[in-house]
């Protein structure tokens, strides 16, 4: 009997470009629901902050975490009317400045909880009298070990290099904590649940609408993203996603800052993405978009008030959630999908951005 012919091993098909990035965009509704399982922790930490009179909020983080802190400034300012700001890590960690942090809540945001200078900052903030809070995916991390309170993000393992669901859970978490500090946390939690349901239906529709828009910008090399109020955090995060995955020089600006110098750089080959909300910031965003259009710049308008932006070549309108703190939970998603689609249109793999690698997984 003859021996069977050896069988050549079959190489598995390579994963589709951007498959991880896209999958985690689609996972965001479930990630938000996981966060809500920890709502009692957020209520407890808000109560502790109130008991300690720690009504000034310092926030630190890098990348998407720092972008989320921009949202936190408005969440704490609009809900409990607390002063909140993105703090300097360098002052505390690198310069060794001993600041009196009594009466403050120091919140360190980190997906992995293992970013060395963020861990050191929180450790020193605690020594300087702050009430310290770790907002992380890993409750067993180094960051959690130096904090007095730990708030789980519950975003799950983040496998794509460019963060999506962690960012969304971070802003939801900051909104939830701020709302509990104002005594309105349970209502905000109910709203997050409704947003998760909305996103589940919205993401596939947004993907279909975004792909042809991305194709139109496949040769773009630069872009401004403008927003105001809580949506400035969305502008920062969308710009970061474009920088990470598409090699486009994307810069976030407030709508007003655009008119104070950067507008001079615009021309018909320099597009502007405007995030428009139905709130007190709308007039500033519309005015900024109009100034950009006067230079010949192509406009992309997104958000609940996208249709209020005149002369936009492309529009990605979103449902109006009736709250300026809930809007950013939706408005960042078109930018995430745009980055994914644009990277592919440019022949790039958004799962393999040049010079970056993923080293932070949740447990």
Q: How far apart are CA 240 and CA 45, in angstroms?
A: 30
Helix or strand run (H / E) with residue 195: helix 185-216
Domain that holds residue 124: 19-183
Domain boundary among 132, 154, 183: 183
DSSP 8-state secondary structure symbol assigned to residue 162: S
Q: Looking at residue 356, what is its pLDDT? A: 55
Give the tens place of pLDDT for each residue, 316-354: 999 999 999 999 999 999 999 999 999 999 999 998 877
Residues 148 and 214 in one domain: no
Q: Looking at residue 1, what is its pLDDT? A: 42
Domain membership of residue 7 (yes or no) is no
Mean pLDDT (whole number) for 46-60: 98
CATH code: domain of residue 91? 3.40.50.10490
Residues 116 and 226 in one domain: no
Residues 255 and 107 in one domain: no
Give the tens place of pLDDT for each residue, 113-139: 999 999 999 999 999 999 999 999 999
Domain membership of residue 350 (yes or no) is no
Instruction: For residue 158, name the pLDDT band (cuts at 50, 70, 90).
Output: confident
Largest Cα separation within the chain, whole Å, is 86
Q: How far apart are CA 295 and CA 349, in angstroms?
A: 33
Q: Which token pair is 188?
A: 């905000």
Residues 177 and 287 in one domain: no
Residue 218 in contact with residue 242, Cβ under 8 Å?
A: no
Domain membership of residue 73 (yes or no) is yes
Total domains present in the chain: 2
Mean pLDDT (whole number) for 207-223: 96
Q: How many CB atoms lie within 10 A of CB 169?
A: 28
Provide the whole-model pTM.
0.93
Instruction: For residue 20, name the pLDDT band (cuts at 50, 70, 90).
Output: very high
Residue 222 in contact with residue 249, Cβ under 8 Å?
A: yes
Residue 346 in contact with residue 218, Cβ under 8 Å?
A: yes
The 3-state DSSP composition of the chain as helix, strand, coil percent (nearest 5) reads: 50, 15, 35
Residues 37 and 178 in one domain: yes
Domain membership of residue 5 (yes or no) is no
């Amino acid at each position: 009997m003859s021996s069977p012919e050896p069988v050549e091993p079959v190489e598995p098909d390579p994963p589709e470009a951007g498959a991880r990035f896209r999958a985690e965009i689609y996972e965001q509704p479930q990630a938000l629901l996981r966060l809500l399982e920890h709502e009692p922790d957020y209520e407890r930490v808000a109560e502790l902050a109130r008991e300690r009179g720690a009504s000034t909020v310092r926030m630190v983080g890098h990348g998407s975490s720092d972008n989320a802190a921009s949202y936190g400034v408005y969440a704490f300012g609009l809900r409990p009317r607390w002063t909140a700001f993105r703090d300097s890590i360098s002052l505390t960690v690198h310069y060794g400045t001993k600041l009196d942090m009594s009466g403050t809540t120091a919140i360190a945001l980190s997906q992995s909880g293992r970013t060395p200078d963020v861990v050191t900052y929180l450790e020193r903030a605690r020594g300087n009298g702050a009430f310290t809070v770790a907002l992380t995916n890993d409750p067993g991390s180094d960051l959690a070990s130096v904090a007095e309170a730990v708030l789980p993000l519950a975003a799950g393992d983040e496998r794509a290099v460019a963060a999506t669901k962690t960012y969304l859970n971070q802003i939801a978490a900051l909104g939830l904590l701020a709302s509990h500090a104002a005594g309105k946390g349970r209502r905000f939690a109910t709203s997050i649940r409704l947003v998760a349901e909305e996103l589940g239906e919205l993401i596939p529709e947004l993907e279909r609408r975004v792909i042809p828009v991305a194709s139109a910008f496949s040769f773009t090399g630069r872009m401004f993203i403008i927003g105001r109020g809580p949506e400035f955090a969305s502008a920062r995060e969308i710009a970061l996603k474009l920088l990470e995955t598409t090699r486009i020089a994307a810069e976030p600006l407030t709508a007003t800052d655009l008119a104070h110098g950067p507008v001079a750089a615009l021309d018909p080959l320099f597009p502007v993405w405007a995030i428009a909300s139905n709130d007190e910031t709308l007039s500033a965003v519309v005015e900024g978009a109009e100034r950009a259009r006067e230079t010949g710049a192509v406009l992309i308008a997104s958000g609940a008030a996208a249709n209020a932006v005149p002369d936009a070549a492309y529009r990605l309108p979103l449902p109006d959630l009736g709250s300026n703190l809930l809007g950013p939970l939706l408005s960042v998603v078109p930018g995430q999908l745009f980055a994914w689609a644009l990277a592919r249109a440019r022949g790039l793999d958004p799962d393999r951005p040049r010079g970056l690698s993923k080293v932070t997984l949740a447990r």
